[in-house]
Structure 1
């Protein structure tokens, strides 16, 4: 692998303008193609194999007018007077004329008459609606707004509209640039990782739009993919540029330094990228289309970031030449004392057991709140107040009751349940504690099915709502009657993902262990890597629980009240975090293994490996934390949660884990870190020796000119 990467880096550096032209053409083509034929992300609430899906399918078959997605228009008079029925009728008539609307209205007034709900049912799922669906609804309700009334929108259609990101994402990129300038001391060197990451992100994001044209992509997938892609793109490019600068300082010509960096750091990038992709593809096992597209969308961006790192970065480095580092910084002299990180590693090595226990205690303390975590899919009540669905939610809860926003729908198959028993079923449901109202039965056009609408006394995210759904299914409904609706779907999603989480964890951890065993030729190192990464994930879960469920600091993020952790977040965070944590693990262990292969000293290899990578990993982690923190400003609460979780885990990973736990544990185990049974070593494929000795090539050396003489280490002159 090393020699192949060396040739790739050498080729790209030898022909930089051809490489840059190829990437520019690819970027332009991807953006144009994505804009021309790309699709629009849409949320899909289908959960195959669940009870709620069975009810949904019955509605689609027997109630064509009620079979598709829905929107709810909430009209409110801020002055408190009663609404004009004639005006409401005009709004209803306009909504009935909207494309693909099967049923609209009649308006349902509140008890005091100052608020009304107009239900709008489409004939197609939300994924089949055009991008202008909400624009048509807003146009149809223009008469109410013109009359000075407050009009808000709820339901799957407005909830499915992509949310706009905050300025935090842009600020994150600018702060990342400042960090890189400080790290390299050069604007040119700092700009290379940003340029490479943005090019990869542009192509990857266009790929997501193309993916949305052929399959369902959830509305939050592009934001999550951009968050991860931007972070890893900068990190991977940073690793290559750092190693390239080391080559320049060691006296290599720019093209040779780029080739050497691609062969050494490029290998770490490929392994790190592979672990991220393995983690993301584990989402396929979730059982939900939304998760599969999360995985595919993010994988597209990560794969593009890896390709940009090992091909675009060498070309950019070659174009910049020695200008990538300020002249004064190329004149390297031997330091009078070891670097701070080397002294720190030596200090940890003097009492490795104590430091390991302290690090474990911190991670376990932060992870403990996760034991109380309650998950629930995000709903309108969790959104910020500037969101129309949140304002609609608050109006409906205040005027019609907390359970009115997302009532249950009981679909009854009259081929299995006698029609004359439906009134009795209605009475049994109404008698269940926690049920507020039950509507009169609505028969299908062919009289083969009936629908009952059940309003609960609790809000959808109230824990009692889920318990009541389970109770109705187990004790009240006969065979042939199924509960569906948003609340019931959310209950099924929460149950399904709770079951699948451990399957995904097992598969992802197992595949990652296998990959790292092949790369590092060790049993203990991959096992430790998996365990410490799981601790980082647990700590991130604990912080999420404290911030969102307990409400500690939630208002600083625009969350005005405690909310459950979104059901979508734990599984997605695990897949992303496990891969990202492996990034830093691979970066550090790769350098430690280089030192181990060169010296055979288990203690000094850790000290030198940490000293060589700490600055890069710290800068990379700080950049990721800043980028992820920028996404906390996004209006969507799921994106906020993902941003908090990722920023927390990366911060812990680069400090407690990489600076304390990993070096302490490796010093405790000594030579045992690199033990591998001979039979297993023969069985596993070999990817090439990790040391750099195999790359030694006289052509790599720069000619002994006056210019390169100043690049040589002082000890060699």
Structure 2
């Protein structure tokens, strides 16, 4: 591996004009393709095979006129202060004007008259207009949404609007710029050079540009979830900057030993580049593994983010060496007042920290474990759910509509359930429908509306209003009880009864995601364990790395629950609403954090192994290896944390929670697990850390991630070197 990358780096350096031209052409081509071929993205969260989705599919075939599954909006009209809609004909006329305007709005197939539907609050102050669309909510354009808002406000009545038809695609605005700005500052301090700091930023932006434009091209041919490019942007920026940072840092070190530019590039790519490739592989394995859990939109997000990682690795090992060929020795320049590394004869901060942890390894390990455990405590009460109007920003029309509906009609009116009764094989279809309505009503719901039957008479729909809101545990229990009743009625009547609607669909999706977490975790941990055994040729080191990741994951979940569910520090972080944790977040974080956490494991511990293999005493190898990589790993962790933290200030709650979780997870994993627990445990284990059964040593291929082969066969006539090159 190291020899191949060494030759690749030198070839890119020598043919820098060709390599740079190829990457520029790729960027231009996908950019033009994005402008001409891009389509729309979906915010629909569906999982084939769930009961709610099967019910919707059934209704599309047997009851298409019901338009179940299309976009919906709830327009809440409020009478002027001191008036109502019952005793005022003038106010009633205003309501009907709004209903007429809504029916004339683009893509609307029906706006129900609240007087006919009896959707007037008991005090007569509120009128609820249900609006249905033929298209799914994600297919609606901004012009369609603007027309909805204009129709709702077409009279003097106060109106608030909720429903999925109002929610557009999430926007991050300029939040990512904040993280990139902090990353630039960290790079300047790390390198002491504007030019050296700019190279990782430049190559990362090129990689992200290619990745995002490629995704936009794909939207012209297939439907993608609108959170897909956001995750790709987050991961692409973070790993793109980090991977280039490690190679540029190693290149500067090699120049300092007296090598010429070409051989310095070759060694940097052959050594640090080897670590980049294997670190990238762990991220790719973790992200691509999302495709096997049976959740299509997560698989899309994982593959898209994995593709950006592939691009980041390719750019770091080809385009970056080419650019280094243009800048030459100028990459070593320093800004006045900024210096790199310790003064001559003085130990670096990394070395001093490693020795301190090694001397007090039991105490350091104990404090770190206790700290992580305390942060992880809130994770035990994590509640999963999907976004609805209750989790929208408090000042948004969606949230206000939710509050008005809850006040006037009960919280359950914000998330009605749809009970589908398929009487195709029922012994007495009419009795099956009436029995279903009675049994559901006996469960203590707020209301069961009269059934609607299709033209063929073989399918009926019952709209059920729960007493509790769509995100409450009681509503989830109600759905389970209705389904249990449905199973009983199927045995007695022959009818097939299922529950659907947005609330039931969210419950099904959350349950499916929850059930998939453990198998997925086992999958990626198993695959990555094998990969790490190849890199470290050890059993205990990959085991320690995996346990450390699980600790980081628990702390991350605890912090997310404390902020986004319990409401801690919301004012400081700009989080405007709290509620159940997004059901897709835990499994997404498992994949993303595992891959990124293994980056630091590879970058730090490969140098420890290198020094140990070449004769350094085990505990001293921990110190020397740590001191060589600590400065760059700290910079990389600060960069990743700042890039992800920038997304905490986005408007969309899912993006906020992903950014926060990644920022916390990287910070805990880098500074607590990798920089404290790893040296403490490695110091405890000593030489036993590198134990590998003889039979396994013979079976595992030697991938030479340390670059030992470059000493004997560097290629291209490089001067012989006594030392084995470092990974970073």
Using structure 2 for the length normalisation, give the TM-score: 0.91
Q: 1:185 aligns with which of 177, 181, 192?
A: 192
- Contact 1:71–1:153 (8 Å) recurs in 2: no
Distance, in Å, in 2 between the alignment partners of 1:137 and 1:183 is 48
Cα deviation per residue 1:655-702 (whole Å; 9 max; x = unaligned)?
111221101111111112222222212222222362446256596769
Distance 1:423 1:475, change over 3 A: closer
Unaligned runs of 5+ in 1: 704-717
Task: Give 1:43's aligned residue.
Answer: 43
Task: Give 1:69's aligned residue.
Answer: 70
1:619 is the counterpart of 2:635: yes
Distance, in Å, in 1 between the alignment partners of 2:477 and 2:227 is 28
Distance 1:124 1:475, change over 3 A: same
Task: Give 2:680's aligned residue.
Answer: 664
Q: 1:362 aligns with which of 360, 367, 371?
A: 371
Instruction: Map 1:466-545; keep pairs closer than 5 Å.
Output: 466-475=476-485, 478-479=489-490, 480-545=496-561
Task: Give 2:726's aligned residue.
Answer: none
Task: Give 1:714's aligned residue.
Answer: none
DSSP-derived class of the 1:44 partner = coil
Q: 1:326 aligns with which of 329, 333, 339?
A: 333
Distance, in Å, in 1 between the alignment partners of 2:397 and 2:589 is 27
State the shift of 1:330 in Å.
9.9
Distance 1:182 1:331, change over 3 A: closer
Unaligned runs of 5+ in 2: 86-90, 491-495, 721-728
Task: Give 2:382's aligned residue.
Answer: 373
- Contact 1:383–1:390 (8 Å) recurs in 2: yes
Distance, in Å, in 1 between the alignment partners of 2:557 and 2:177 is 26
DSSP-derived class of the 1:686 partner = coil
Q: 1:424 aligns with which of 425, 435, 439?
A: 435
Distance 1:120 1:702, change over 3 A: farther
257-266 vs 472-481, greater mean Cα deviation? 472-481
DSSP-derived class of the 1:599 partner = coil
Q: 1:145 aligns with which of 153, 176, 180?
A: 153
1:415 is the counterpart of 2:416: no
Distance, in Å, in 2 between the alignment partners of 1:61 and 1:45 is 21
265-274 vs 14-23, greater mean Cα deviation? 14-23
1:283 is the counterpart of 2:290: yes
Cα deviation per residue 1:145-176 (whole Å; 9 max; x = unaligned)?
243445444333333x2122143321111111
DSSP-derived class of the 2:614 partner = helix
DSSP-derived class of the 1:76 partner = strand
Distance, in Å, in 1 between the alignment partners of 2:435 and 2:705 is 75
Q: 1:397 aligns with which of 381, 395, 406?
A: 406
1:460 is the counterpart of 2:473: no
State the shift of 1:421 in Å.
3.6
Distance, in Å, in 2 between the alignment partners of 1:275 and 1:332 is 30
DSSP-derived class of the 1:158 partner = coil
Task: Give 1:221's aligned residue.
Answer: 228
1:52 is the counterpart of 2:56: no
Distance 1:406 1:420, change over 3 A: same
Distance, in Å, in 2 between the alignment partners of 1:116 and 1:136 is 23
Distance 1:150 1:248, change over 3 A: farther
1:235 is the counterpart of 2:251: no
1:292 is the counterpart of 2:305: no
Task: Give 2:319's aligned residue.
Answer: 312
Task: Give 1:448's aligned residue.
Answer: 458
Distance, in Å, in 1 between the alignment partners of 2:260 and 2:80 is 76
State the shift of 1:47 in Å.
2.3
Task: Give 1:635's aligned residue.
Answer: 651
1:206 is the counterpart of 2:213: yes
Distance, in Å, in 2 between the alignment partners of 1:387 and 1:331 is 49
State the shift of 1:110 in Å.
3.0
1:158 is the counterpart of 2:166: yes
Distance, in Å, in 1 between the alignment partners of 2:61 and 2:100 is 26
Cα deviation per residue 1:639-663 (whole Å; 9 max; x = unaligned)?
1111111111111112111221101
- Contact 2:560–2:661 (8 Å) recurs in 1: yes
Using structure 1 for the length normalisation, give the TM-score: 0.92
State the shift of 1:183 in Å.
0.9
Distance, in Å, in 2 between the alignment partners of 1:473 and 1:629 is 42
DSSP-derived class of the 1:687 partner = coil
Distance 1:195 1:391, change over 3 A: farther
Task: Give 2:350's aligned residue.
Answer: 341
Distance, in Å, in 1 between the alignment partners of 2:404 and 2:20 is 55
DSSP-derived class of the 1:412 partner = strand
Distance, in Å, in 1 between the alignment partners of 2:328 and 2:395 is 50
Distance, in Å, in 1 between the alignment partners of 2:220 and 2:410 is 39
DSSP-derived class of the 1:156 partner = coil
Q: 1:603 aligns with which of 614, 619, 623?
A: 619
- Contact 1:249–1:331 (8 Å) recurs in 2: no
- Contact 2:107–2:144 (8 Å) recurs in 1: no
DSSP-derived class of the 1:481 partner = strand
Distance, in Å, in 1 between the alignment partners of 2:511 and 2:313 is 35
Task: Give 1:709's aligned residue.
Answer: none
Distance, in Å, in 2 between the alignment partners of 1:211 and 1:13 is 33
- Contact 1:98–1:137 (8 Å) recurs in 2: no
Distance 1:404 1:558, change over 3 A: farther
Q: 2:275 aligns with which of 250, 268, 271?
A: 268
Distance 1:315 1:148, change over 3 A: farther
Distance, in Å, in 2 between the alignment partners of 1:336 and 1:37 is 60
- Contact 1:42–1:216 (8 Å) recurs in 2: yes
DSSP-derived class of the 1:574 partner = helix
Distance 1:223 1:155, change over 3 A: same
Distance 1:698 1:18, change over 3 A: closer
State the shift of 1:555 in Å.
3.2
State the shift of 1:114 in Å.
4.9
State the shift of 1:514 in Å.
0.7
DSSP-derived class of the 2:153 partner = helix
Q: Provide the aligned length of Structure 1 versus Structure 2.
A: 698
Taking only aligned residues, the RMSD between alpha carbons, in angstroms, comes to: 2.5
Task: Give 2:723's aligned residue.
Answer: none
Distance, in Å, in 2 between the alignment partners of 1:77 and 1:67 is 27
Distance, in Å, in 2 between the alignment partners of 1:312 and 1:514 is 30
DSSP-derived class of the 2:415 partner = strand
Distance, in Å, in 2 between the alignment partners of 1:571 and 1:325 is 42
Distance 1:250 1:166, change over 3 A: same
